Chains A and B, each alone.
Chain A
């Protein structure tokens, strides 16, 4: 087991390093970065001075090492537009995006599992067919279209859910202000519903189908037949014996899921004015605020790799074949 952990850890480190190389290169792919740091009316001399001061005239390898050194000391660079440490900006907005992502993830899993199970148990019936068709549909809708429809119909016509604005929950929680966090929670959830649906529908649909097919596979296995022949009621068979194994593929997906959801979040954050990291980085890319983009990318990758590492370790714990491979 330890060898496995060590190996995965080493791999993770390589991946994060690789991401930093990629993130670092983007700064230079966009052309001479000095222009981003000086005023529009800077003279040639000021530009050359700035270039020297910022170290952009040194060889790329040396610049990269300096960049990594900075990262290790916690210096992620300063945002050009906001003139503030990029890491502070990202961390400031991260809780809002995490709220959205977790909400979508929870929504997706809590609904997908019962739906998938019911569908599997009623395989071949109209319920199964109907639910699966809906799930297919859920995977076929362009996300932004769903978001706009929600704004127009639920937000405007029916008017019982808010379509913009944010009431913080995670940030006060992390600050230790439990009271505010709890008072805010109902409002936070209220504001989360529409964007959460927009982000989560795709993975909800996919997970429902996944649970169903995984369940069907497991239900066809021998040990299930044994349980049935022992006279156990179907419900017990499904919930107690089959579910655990059927959920294994979902566990693996949760890691990747996080990455997808993060991608979909940009669109939902734009439509619902959710003040999260997705919008922050999207604007940063458009405005060529390179330090901010680099920071966000490195941070996300770090979280993604970390999450996957944990998931893999859990998986390895559940299924010994993995670690022995």
Chain B
């Protein structure tokens, strides 16, 4: 299982490094969205819950972009068939894809956070950075899990670009809610020390539950 996951993940990361299909688009999208928010809200700087909400909604939509591309190569170039022919645990594909999406999100955030700090954020980014990174990691795990599961469902439907986001957005409401509540005090002027533990706990519970369910049912999406 572990070797299969590692092989699949390496394949995905290599393919992304060579084709640059997802990460540049996602990154560009986040930066453009920050600019849009600047004009949409007509504000030069943001702080507190507004900043936190803008950051999370932007990251969520960027994740949906990445999620839409996640299984396209498998679907169009017969990767699914090849994988099904191999004598390996099918859930490995889910784990590898979720890890790949998680990695994509982390890379995007490495660019998106400084861009956000420069373009929109009023208070400094350095002080709340550890708490912010912790929240980002927990939320990324949830987004990657749901995104991979939904992408697996949506790739075989005719209207996959439509079904994917329609399913993902309601499923991720708790993640966005908890994540933006957790980071709101961090991004406030003279912000508090760490993110509220209650919200991190909710994120962790969500990640765990959805992760287990997705792990359990993903098998059935590949069964033909």
Partners in one complex: no
Please report A residues at the B interface, Cβ cutoff 8 Å: none
Please report B residues at the A interface, Cβ cutoff 8 Å: none
